[in-house]
Structure 1
């Protein structure tokens, strides 16, 4: 006959007072939520620093304290976060694509429990699961609570000083269940997988451990014989390591996020009186010494005890007891077998022996309840030193995400779960970047254009004005999709601009006059020709007079009407003021500029009547492939690009602007735009500007003085793709980009086949992400020649880019 007991009768928790869990044995527990470092982001040195931080912090705790760290790993599915702004077409399609993607959600809690004076140690035979208790008076001792709270505050401060952890004290609202939220005590007892899961379930220990209909399996590391021969702060992860680099993960990662199923990882460290422990071990050694003559086992145990005591005294080690366990559950018997295999394999990766606990499982489960760690059966723990015990503390969590309104969506490296990364604002608020300069580098075919399309689309959706200088047509699809302005040269539709046009609401100012003067002088003079003061003033007066004439007569502003003004009114004005030809040769000026007048060779170039208001156009692409070797067209175009972006900088105050140069280095290096880029990377951050360059040639990065001295030094955002082709030249690349050894290890682990990218923010925050795209995004961004032509052809056939993408995706799904 199975005897049933009410949970209320045997519950060891007395209550919650002053945000502390109080047990019926007089134990006081302070609880924290812990933010761990993100997985795959720490170096070997980081793991060592984290390990030493735990050791230092635990040593600050008083004797008879129990550290209970509890990591929950629960299967979950992705739900797109709500945003305040309306979502664009590609954002909606992205949400649909990733909806329901499975991943392992991780939450980490830390419970520090102080035992009262005179409390008897826990034991399997005397667990409070099977016996009642009398509440001691010490539970009401305010000094006891105050001293312990101060010790916990110091513990928290030491851990957070490492810069790798963050602890948040849990209050009564977190510890106890609320109307719409399960508290952590009830969550543990019911293995609730959702915050709003309020179904109370039976606990059964008659046929193994069962919570409701779910069978629980418990694997323990509670005996020294089951432990690995060697332990440390880290393991080498072969999947991401190379011949020259060792990629590190936490020592317990195999039983953490890498164990892909619902499970709990409990870690217990019991801090007793160190001197008393050593005295007990000395007595044990003497007892074994007297028995060693009768048994070889006693001889071996004596030697082991002696080594333990020698190390404790010589190295000033802190003796502790420890226990670690992994609990898994399922209501499917077939799945239980699979879970056992997964857990055994995970434990074996730590070089430990997997031991399934059966007889003592209920007592161990009961002691894992928040606030009840002091009742853990110490016969299921083992003696060790604090340094070794801390190796078994979990050290990693999932990638963190910012809000979609502020970030770019990538995917984490473990489960391809979407995460949002703020490249611009958050890093500057945290002080890890000082500018918004961006450098994207990777070998051919690594996915640079797909990545930059995706980043620019996200920035555009967030209100950024994007101006892109491209060679290769990589941004045509995105530009058409968002209704942007695309400039390219075709024989039937040559490229044309109108720098003389002023959008409504924008008046002529000194800056506009100066940019037009620079353009006219560039068209008139060669680079090595000097412009006199008289010529400079004459052109300035000509522009001022021209715009006054426009106001009076209502003429259309363009180069043609300006040229006609020079031939007519301005010629008379020069004659009236007796301006000598040697001071300003108007005839020569008109002769040199005549090819840009209507009916001549470049009559189309500066007389556009469409696409006039470029300052207020938020997405503009200049595709320069067909004119990059044309001395005049390219020079004029680059000057106009400079003038346009400077105008956006000055006039669109408060608006974010992005200037992206994609693989145009050889062309740009032959023009005045090279110096402009040097200026831009140093200056436009003051105007909320984002300068960015993209290159695939290693020599571009290493040999170009402009990139090395101006761009790299002022590009705190580095987006690097697969460098497998550069392995033999990597030392030069590492030196040129200023990459640390940690960055080198992470960068060389990037897998091009998984569309992985390495992002370095200010040399401090480094991660590898996956740039997985929805099919709709892929067709919008594709730079593959055949696919791009097909997308544009479908857009013409179906009437819009959105309809073309839908048709292509439907074809792909049917194939």
Structure 2
């Protein structure tokens, strides 16, 4: 039995050393004297770019490539590794946060890393074929390095290349260090990781080229785009992504995205652009054209090739195109031979979607793989490349990566739209710090059933867990479960247990703002809407409030509430008025004041409203819900409750220094229907940012906001964050919504793509978030069973949950029990 020849990797590996040059450049030096600088590149996030963005990126790459010196290789290497989500548990995590992390524990996703290697090689290397590869040589004799002037010029050009792409604002470059490339101690470097096709590269493995390519226990398949016959007749900077496009919108995706994140398996996409001597290349092609001309009489194929070559030369001359050579390949692998067959089909299908012909490499697999070693691009076989212009070559570059976690410590967890992996998103602090938004206010729009209350539950829950004081104005009991779970205060009108407050209660001394809010309340209770208040009336009530609190301080047994105020006004204060020689009944109608306000005094129709004895100190209550469903049309209760809401939040704004505050108004048109309330909303949206707060309005119809002229501009213009849910119901009139909210065409395409391509086997909905019109993205809102039942607005589910609460005496136990039944499919 004969054995195939084998060799030691150390003898065949083409890298001579990795060293620091000029105390600035971490260089890979090959044994053929090629110098390479490597960078890890941060790409734009997938599904966030418009056609104009792709065109800008393409232009930047073409300009950057023109700066590179002759006989330079741009090797872009995109690694896509199957990974799993690792949850992060903390001791202080809430039950729902733990449930969220458990729900996504070990969820698979495709991890992506992008590297760019720029290699300076020599003129003779550009003509080398597979026979010259380091893989085919018995011994590699190291050549002398480039001279100092050439290497210095190369470093300068690379610096300019990086600057142009960085200045485009789409990319961030970080130079790879010696340890990252070559490894340190037991920590593997990039070269070892490549040779083992693993994210850790801890142990080198056998590499077998006898039957294609096998590395350790990984079966590999290599697909190449190396012949013009296999390429699309026309390439673009982007393509229309049919799954997320509509009849009215074009959703753009990178031309090469189908073999990027959209190829759901372990794979690597290598992109090579070789910058040769442009003049020399054109002369070579001119000679080729003449040969074809002389042979044209023998074959029509020669005539066609001659015409194509002439067309290429003409375009290079007239349009000033830079002629380059290019090669692209996709390497996929699996530890199971049978699965590799499926991956071949997946990869072939992905390449076909680019309108290219998939070709699996069989002969040059070894040399192509070996040339992909970081720093060895100069060893690439020339017969596996094709001539093209830099503009066309750049269209094949992969330009997108996964959603990234925000580096901010504050934020909420949403889900990556493609992979289903949780991502940390900061909608408040980092965008302000980076100047993307100027305020934290948010406008949320979604028709009935789109999941807006579900999303807002998810958002405010996470804000509250991070120390935010939440005040919610609701219609529809959407936050009852969450409020009970976090131990919040829930104000709701019920005939058996009417809604009650105590705006007169103070803990300690009373300040000017508290006095003003009480005076405003008293005047609102007394006067009809639109009825003027005289200076004498205002002054009288002001005196009454001041003297009332002085009387309370003097008599500590008096409980501050409306009842005691009414008794004080009808008793001691009335006596003072009658003794005042300057006081006249026409200045202030005492009888009328007491008669009208008597309905709020004990025994009156609304004696419960302003005399509460519990939930007195709302200032330090961190989660408060005002449920207005049963009183939204009540002529007395609704205005009073609205004033209480105003006073409560303004008190939090001005007194809770350094603490984040949020007021969220659901179905806002009812709360802003009256002039007085509208002015409060207007003031709130313009002022809350100064007090580390944010105001949020949630509505089903934009018309509800448009219909109120006072509020429309205040809310829309002072809400830098626009959050929209499924708008397909409004597709035929979305242009009006787009104009009102100031959405760009890219944002319009993103909004109308919501829920268009939901993945099977997962229960979720999608949400669009725009930050100041500068950064926009669609996320998935997917939660654990515990979170689902807590946020659910389905009446049957809520009834079951609160029945369980009554049974167990604990909302947390009820949620856990209901969640388990949901997972078992019996809830």
In the alignment, which of 179, 183, 204 is matched to residue 189 of structure 2? Answer: 183
1:568 is the counterpart of 2:577: no
* TM-score (normalizing by structure 1): 0.97
Task: Tell me what 1:58 maps to.
Answer: 65
In 1, Cα distance between the equivalents of 2:177 and 2:602? 77
Q: Contact 1:116–1:138 at 8 Å: present in 2 too?
A: no
Deviation at 1:527, TM superposition (A): 2.5
Please, which moves more after superposition, 491-500 or 731-740? 731-740
Q: Which residue of 2 aligns with 1:755?
A: 765
Q: 2:559 aligns with which of 539, 556, 561?
A: 556
State which of 9, 19, 42 in structure 2 corresponds to 1:35.
42
* Residues 702 and 732, structure 1, Cα contact 8 Å, conserved in 2: no
Per-residue CA deviation, residues 688-727 of structure 1 (Å, 9 max, x unaligned), is 1110001102321433324431101111111101111111
Equivalent residue in structure 2 for 1:228, among 229, 232, 256 = 232
Shift of residue 120, structure 1, vs aligned partner: 5.9
What does residue 202 of structure 1 align with?
Answer: 206
Summarize the alignment of residues 90-129 of structure 1 with structure 2, pairs less than 5 Å apart.
90-116=96-122, 119=125, 121-129=127-135
State which of 6, 11, 14 in structure 2 corresponds to 1:9: 11
Q: How far 1:117 sits from its partner (Å)?
A: 6.1
Instruction: Encode CA deviations 1:437-487: one digit per residue, 9 max, x unaligned.
Output: 111101110001000000100100111000000111111011001100000
- Which piece of structure 1 moves more, 789-798 or 667-676? 667-676
Structure 2 counterpart of 1:465, from 445, 469, 474: 469
More divergent stretch after superposition (571-580 vs 721-730): 571-580
Matched, 1:24 2:24: no
Aligned to 1:272: 276
Which residue of structure 1 lines up, in the alignment, with residue 761 of structure 2?
A: none
Which residue of structure 2 aligns with residue 647 of structure 1? 651
Question: Distance between the aligned counterparts of 2:633 and 2:142, measured in 1?
Answer: 89
What is the aligned partner in structure 2 of residue 780 from structure 1?
790
Measure the CA separation in 2 of the matches of 1:707 and 1:33: 48
Which 5+ residue runs of structure 2 have no aligned equivalent? 21-25, 759-763
Of the three residues 705, 708, 717, the one matched with 1:704 is 708
How big is the shift at 1:130? 2.0
Partners of 1:449 and 1:706 in 2: how far apart?
Answer: 25
Question: How much has 1:424 moved relative to structure 2?
Answer: 0.4
1:137-195 Cα distance to aligned partner (Å, 9 max, x none)? 334x33333221111111011111111111111111211212463211111011113x3
Query: In structure 2, which of residues 632, 636, 650 is the aligned counterpart of residue 632 of structure 1?
Result: 636
Structure 2 partner of 1:211: 215
> Deviations 1:385-430 (Å, cap 9, x if unpaired)?
1111001000111111126851211111112111121000111112
Could you say which residue in structure 2 is the equivalent of 1:156? 162
Asked if the contact 1:629/1:667 (under 8 Å) is kept, the reply is no
Give me the whole-angstrom Cα distance separating, in 2, the residues matched to 1:528 and 1:234. Answer: 59
The Cα RMSD (Å) is 1.5
Q: Secondary structure at the match of 1:168?
A: strand
Aligned residue runs from structure 1 range 390-409, under 5 A: 390-402=394-406, 405-409=409-413
Give yes or no for contact 2:85–2:107 (8 Å, CA) kept in 1: yes
Q: Which moved more, 1:2-11 or 1:342-351?
A: 2-11
Q: What's the CA shift for 1:116?
A: 4.0
Instruction: Trace 1:488-567 onto structure 2 (pairs within 5 A).
Output: 488-503=492-507, 506-554=508-556, 555-567=558-570
Distance 2:94 2:261 in 1: 33
CA distance in 2, matches of 1:687, 1:317: 56
1:611 aligned to 2:615? yes
Paired residue secondary structure (1:566): helix
Equivalent residue, structure 1, for 2:55:
48
Report Cα offsets for 1:211-238 as digits up to 9, x if no partner: 1121211100111111111111111111
1:119: Cα distance to partner?
4.5
Residue 438 of structure 1: aligned partner: 442
| Structure 1 residues 337-388: Cα deviation after superposition (integer angstroms, max 9, x where no partner) | 1111111111100111111111100000000000000110011100111111
**Residues in 2 aligned to 1:405 and 1:762: alpha-carbon distance in whole angstroms:** 21
Structure 1 CA distance, aligned partners of 2:98 and 2:166? 39
Task: Note if contact 1:288-1:301 (Cα within 8 Å) is conserved in structure 2.
Answer: yes
2:248 pairs with one of 239, 244, 248: 244
Counterpart of 2:633 in 1: which secondary structure? coil
The more displaced of 102-111 and 179-188 is 179-188
Counterpart pick for 1:789 among 785, 799, 804: 799
1:631-652 per-residue CA deviation (whole Å, 9 max, x = no partner) reads: 1111100001000000000000
**Unaligned ranges ≥5, structure 1:** none
SS in structure 2 opposite 1:766? strand
Q: Secondary structure at the match of 2:618?
A: coil
Determine whether 1:714 maps to 2:721.
no
The answer to whether the 8 A contact 2:653-2:661 is kept is: yes
The worse-fitting range, judged by mean Cα deviation, of 787-796 and 576-585 is 576-585
Q: TM-score w.r.t. structure 2 length?
A: 0.96
In the alignment, the residues of structure 2 paired with residue 163 and residue 405 of structure 1 have an alpha-carbon distance, to the nearest angstrom, of 24
Report deviation, 1:82: 5.6
1:590 paired residue among 580, 589, 594 = 594
Q: Separation in 2 of the partners of 1:224 and 1:664?
A: 60
Equivalent pairs, count: 809
| Secondary structure of the structure 2 residue equivalent to 1:230 | coil
Deviating more after overlay: 663-672 vs 201-210: 663-672
Q: Is the 8 A contact 1:627 1:634 kept in 2?
A: yes
Contact 1:776/1:806 (<8 A) preserved: yes
Quote the offset at 1:299 in angstroms.
Answer: 1.7
Q: Please give the secondary structure, in 1, of the residue aligned with 2:219.
A: strand
Return the alpha-carbon distance in structure 2 between the equivalents of residues 72 and 800 of structure 1: 49
Contact 2:672 2:711 (8 Å CA) reproduced: no
Instruction: Tell me the equivalent position of 1:734.
Output: 738
Question: Could you tell me how far 1:577 is from its partner in structure 2?
Answer: 2.9
